[in-house]
Structure formats: C-alpha cells, structure tokens
C-alpha cells in the first residue's frame, strides 16, 4: 500500500505551468496537533525502525504511520525512516480514534 493512498487527488491548472494542464495533483493535507498525554508510550528507536512498522506494531495498521510522525516533531517527518537512538513518542492506541477524527475534521 502506498503511503499516499489515503490522500485525495485534484485536477486543475498548475499555477507554475500552462492553464490547460489538468494532471491530477495531491490535495494539501492538514494534520492535527497531537498533544502529549500520560498514556503515551515512549521508545528508543533502533536499527530498522520505521514509522509504518511502529504503527503496525502498536496500532495494527501501518497506514497510521503519520500519527507517530506528527507526534514527534523532533524527527524527520518527510521520510518513513527514523534516526537510530531517538526517543520516540507513540500516542496511546486508545487515543487513535480521536486523532483520526481530528484529521478527518481538518480535511473534510
């Protein structure tokens, strides 16, 4: 599954190219702020850790990689890879539905 499969596409002119250009483009996505909570889980990243693998381990859904990425603004968020040895905050699985709901409200 592509990490972009959940992002909507739009067609229309690109302001940087000619106006007849109607190639599909990704719609900008807004992510909710994920505040710290006492139920959050903290781990140190190891060799081979990626956001999607952690999401699969903690949420049973690798497509929720963005939840962990957004919760950790001290990490590189433009890649699935995580620098080894960083402390990673994983929002509690009990909070995921609330986070997804906030995401849907921002992007509806």
67 or 18, higher pLDDT: 67
Site of tokens 């850790």: 49
User: 79 vs 90, which has greater pLDDT?
Assistant: 90
34-106: CATH class = alpha beta
Residue 90, phi then psi, degrees to nearest 5: -115, 110
Average pLDDT over residues 97-105: 95
> Where would I find the beta strands (DSSP E) of 27-96?
41-44, 87-90
> Is the model more confident about 25 or about 55?
55
Model confidence pLDDT, tens digit, residues 41-77: 999 999 999 999 999 999 999 999 999 999 998 777 7
pLDDT score at 18: 58
- pTM for the model stands at 0.75
Domain boundaries, the chain: 34-106
For residues 84 and 105, give the distance between their C-alpha atoms in angstroms, rounded to a whole number: 34
pLDDT average, residue stretch 9-14: 58
Q: How many C-beta atoms surround the C-beta of residue 42 within 10 A?
A: 8
Residue that wins the pLDDT comparison between 40 and 25: 40
State yes or no: pLDDT of 2 exceeds 70: no
Task: Reply yes or no on whether the pLDDT at 15 is more than 60.
Answer: no
Yes or no: say if 91 and 99 are a contact pair by the CB < 8 Å rule: yes
């Amino acid at each position: 599954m592509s990490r972009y499969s959940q992002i909507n596409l739009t067609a229309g002119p690109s302001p940087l190219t000619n106006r007849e250009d109607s190639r599909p483009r990704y719609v900008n996505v807004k992510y909710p702020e994920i505040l710290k909570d006492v139920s959050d889980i903290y781990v140190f990243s190891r060799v081979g850790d990626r956001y999607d693998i952690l999401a699969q381990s903690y949420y049973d859904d690798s497509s929720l990689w963005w939840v962990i990425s957004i919760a950790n603004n001290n990490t590189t968020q433009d890649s699935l890879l995580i620098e080894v040895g960083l402390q990673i905050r994983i929002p509690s699985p009990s909070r995921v539905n609330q986070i997804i709901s906030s995401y849907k409200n921002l992007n509806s």
